Amino acid sequence: MLIAGNWKMFKGPAEARTFFDGFEAPADVDVVFCPPYVSLGSAVETGQTIYAQNVHWEPTGPYTGEISPQMLVELGVQGALVGHSERRQLFGETDEMVARRARAALEAGLGVIACVGETLEQRESGDTELVLKIQVEAISFAAGAHERLVIAYEPVWAIGTGKTATPEMAEEAHAFIKGLLDRPVLYGGSVKPENAAELMSQTSVDGALVGGASLDPDSFAAICWAASTS
């Protein structure tokens, strides 16, 4: 099982250090933390597995505000998220951009968690599988079934809303994604200690990408322990 905590725009370096002082997870669960860029250095110093929240596809260049894979490697970061729904929705990232980010990161030796998922409108119109097929195949075409690639299925309508896909919905989507690309698939979308065990007991669910519940060390540890017993 892989449990990844996406801190989004929370926790500067001091808060990050405080979090890690109070966090303990089971040894049989792989745990990844995705702090904001400013906290990457202090997070790496803890010895935990640290991923960035995004990464550019070029090694250097006039890309104000972006960070290259090579810069992350130099810092000791081990991977990156790409294609999070907030990046797609709020910052206009396309399937092509997500695929390029994934390929560049993998080529630089980083791990990648590539996010895919449908909006509520797309689900209600019956287009979930079409949307997932387009998103996953873009990543697959660029990177293939790379050993350091993980997919995260995050139904956009369940992120930060308190709504969660039922375990059956998650299983169906994960199985479909695995039929397109044979890589582990995490579930992301309002994962909490209360629902983590049931979600991760599904056959095709290989872990979780956790947002808000990853900000509290006790809450996040509880999800990790749920994964250990699933």
Quick check: 99 and 57 in contact, CB under 8 A? no
pLDDT at residue 153, rounded to an integer: 97
Joined tokens for residue 87? 């990046």
Q: Which residue from 141, 119, 114, 142 is spatially nearest to 131, judged by alpha carbons?
A: 119
Write down all domains in the chain, each with its CATH number in brackets.
Answer: 2-229 (3.20.20.70)
Indicate which residues carry an active-site annotation: 84, 154
Provide the mean pLDDT of the chain. 95
Per-residue pLDDT at 105 exceeds 90? yes
Q: What is the pLDDT of residue 84?
A: 97
> Is the torsion defined by CA of 195, 184, 59, 57 positive or negative?
negative
Sequence-ordered alpha helix ranges (H) in the chain:
13-21, 40-44, 69-75, 85-91, 95-107, 120-124, 128-143, 167-180, 193-200, 217-229
Question: Worst-scoring range by mean pLDDT, 58-62, 97-101, 164-168?
Answer: 164-168
Q: pTM here?
A: 0.96
pLDDT reported for residue 157: 83
pLDDT digits (tens, 9 = 90+) for 121-174: 898 899 999 999 999 999 999 999 999 999 999 998 887 777 778 999 999 999
CB 19 within 8 A of CB 33: no
